[in-house]
Amino acid sequence: MFERIGHFIFRNRKRVLALSILTVILAGGVGSLVFPKLSSGGYSNPKSDSARADSFVTNTFHIKDPALSLVVDTHGRPLNDPTVIGDETSLEKSIAGMATVTKTVSYWSADDAPSLASRDGHAGYLLVYTLAADPTTSTDLASSIQKQYDGTYKSLRVYVGGSSTIYNAISTKIKRDLGVAEAISIPLTFLFLLFIFGGLISSAMPLVVGVSAILGTFFILYLISLFTGVSIFALNLTTGMGLGLGIDYSLLIVNRFREELHAGNSVEESIVRTVATAGRTVFFSGITVFVTLASMLFFPLMFLRSFGYAGVAVVAMAVLGALIPLPAVLAILGTRIDSMVVRKSAITPKSDGRWAATARFVMKRPVAIVLGCLIILGVFAAPLKDIAFSQVDSRALPASNIAAIADAQSLTRFSSQESTPIHLIIPHASSNASSLPEYLAAVAKVPNVVGVGQQSVSNGYVSVDVYDKVGARTNAAQTMITAIRSLRAPAGTLVGGAAADYTDTQAGIAKTLPLAFGWIALSVVILLFLFTGSIILPIKAVLLNIVSLSASLGLVTWIFIDGHMTWLVGTFTNVGSLDTGMVILTAVVTFALSMDYEVFLLSRIKEEHEAGHSNIESVATGLQRSARIITAAALLLAVVFAVFITSGVTNIKILGLGVAFAVLVDATVVRALLVPALMRLFGDLNWWAPKALKRFSVKH
């Protein structure tokens, strides 16, 4: 099949390239429409008990949580000072008249409600409600109010916070940081490509694949956004993986094309051989990365599913870019691929050299190498004992961000979080009337609960708001909700609100993890068996990936929880935990890229093995032919992701550091040392499989 593709592309190279360029341009034009449709939310489990409770609150009781919560500071004056009252009334009237605002409630307009006053008596809440069913979607209003009123208003100091403000701030910050990251990574990447490829023409080849993958993915994400939500965070994965896979696959294809040309083959023969060998490797590598990233689609959160959408799309587009337009460009360039040389030694592939010598050195002392590598990786993995999980809140932003400042005012100065109450929904109002007081009294005694609100009755259901003093998306909130749910409650009682939503989301993720990771392990083992014809190699690959992943997550824990090396990652608010979704994304992306490099390496080793070479020579030659590509690709990919560390959003820092470190470790310690050592120890068993299964493997 791949030979036929190679012949077809060569014979129709100009038409194939022209059609590819037109398709990419159209995809980019339509795909650009996705940006305003992206969401900064998506952290809820829509199938949870808290979601059912919130549905009752909205549809039955017509109650909404406020979209914005403003802290109005009096500069030390009493809340009932006449000037304060007059200025706050003017502020509230002005905001209440804005489009989409349905209601405002403040300490002053609610008859001096004590729960809306700060503990020091010098600040009060002003809560803003909107038409939107989901308050986190009112980002335009949040931006407008923040620009107009955050700061000094007459004699008052106003801090604009709340869920919409926070999500808007995170979304805006990510978009800006992404532009900065691209401005840094693209020039650096091109310089590295110039050094690695050795020529100006060949250095541009990754752009063929990378641009195709990124713009094609934007188009697919736009189509998906017409039917379901897509997270803003998917942009970072799209650009990072698009450029990364573009580099990976271009290095493999171009290097093999050069190798075939230097072996004396014609341009057509070189194209056909390249597509048949390196193209097949790219295809299998792409499938492996595809199924790994597809595991994100199992999770109930839109935030995580968005990474699945972006991941499978960018892999599919990268594979298509590497198998269709890239060979067409190479067919047109022919021997000119080596023109405009800036480093002559880079353009001549070698069958023997430093990497082969390294492999032979390692295979002479495999036990010592394996033990040494495992000790080093174990040291990096050790901090995992301190890992803890949470979800995104305002503290993911820089402490100097005005939305983070406003949220900090709310958390530190007020006894209760009025903007994020816990909602209790009790059915059968009449039959449960006698047991309700006892239940609510027990709820009021739960640690961190500061008050129980008034009861509302509608259609036989009772709704009660409960106020607490902890952040909704924290481990303290999870403990509180668990304690409330453990109480003896009237039959059918539901617990909702932001804290309950957080608790159910964490539980939903934990429940899905075994399915997602089981899917990854099983699918990868099957695919690698089909590719290698071995039972041992796929199992070894999965285990080694787990080891290198543990080292990466250990380093992330050491920095972002234990608080080390801030000189490297910049300042951030240490909350003592890592965002659950971002840890899962880092793990899945790292695993996928590790399998990418595993396929690259095993492809060349198996090719040499099937040519009749010994186990040692197959490994040495395979490493020589592929290690340069793997290390170069890993270095470039590390640059692409490492620039995410410059982001002001802590979650993006975690993704950048975790992936960059993992791919470097995988390409050096794992592929260059552990793999050759273990293949030496296993010997001929590397290629063992039951005879009945051997017929299913792919011939190279």
Q: What's the pLDDT tens digit per position in 6-48?
A: 889 989 989 999 999 999 999 989 988 888 888 766 778 888 8
- Percent of the chain having pLDDT more than 90? 38
Taking a C-beta distance cutoff of 8 angstroms, is the pair 618, 682 a contact?
Answer: no
Residue 200, classed as helix, strand or coil, is helix
Q: Is the pLDDT of residue 81 over 90?
A: yes
Q: Is the pLDDT of residue 342 over 70?
A: no
3-state secondary structure 301-345: CHHHHHHHHHHHHHHHHHHHHHHCHHHHHHHHHHHHHHCCECCHH
Q: Mean pLDDT, to the nearest integer, of 543-558?
A: 93
pLDDT on residue 351: 59
- Bridge partners (DSSP) listed for residue 359: none
- Bridge partners (DSSP) listed for residue 126: 70, 106
Dist CA 657 CA 654 (whole Å): 5
pLDDT on residue 343: 57
Q: Is the pLDDT of residue 618 over 90?
A: no
Q: Is the pLDDT of residue 131 over 80?
A: no
Taking a C-beta distance cutoff of 8 angstroms, is the pair 678, 370 a contact?
Answer: yes
pLDDT on residue 347: 45
Nearest 5°: phi and psi at 112?
55, 50
The tokens of 351 are what? 């069958």
Between residues 504 and 392, which one has the greater pLDDT? 504
pLDDT in tens, 170-206: 888 887 887 888 788 778 877 887 777 766 777 778 8
Closest CA to 6 of 218, 205, 238, 276: 276
Q: Is the pLDDT of residue 664 over 50?
A: yes
Strands 68-73 and 156-161: antiparallel
pLDDT in tens, 311-334: 999 999 999 999 999 999 999 988
Q: Is the pLDDT of residue 621 over 70?
A: yes
Q: Mean pLDDT, to the nearest integer, of 103-121?
A: 88
pLDDT on residue 137: 62
Closest CA to 676 of 369, 452, 388, 289: 369
Q: Is the pLDDT of residue 110 over 50?
A: yes
Through-space distance between the first and last CA atoms of the chain, rounded to whole angstroms: 12
pLDDT in tens, 461-508: 888 989 888 878 888 889 999 999 999 988 889 999 889 999 999 998
Closest CA to 661 of 583, 590, 569: 590
- Of the segments 36-40, 170-174, 422-426, 597-601, which one has the largest average pLDDT value? 422-426
**Burial class (CB within 10 angstroms; exposed 0-12, middle 13-18, buried 19+) of 229:** middle
- Taken in order of first residue, the domains within the chain and their CATH numbers are 1-37+199-341 (1.20.1640.10), 67-161 (3.30.70.1320)
Q: Is the pLDDT of residue 352 over 70?
A: no
Dist CA 59 CA 626 (whole Å): 60
Q: Which range has the worst mean pLDDT, 90-94, 133-137, 150-154, 418-422? A: 133-137
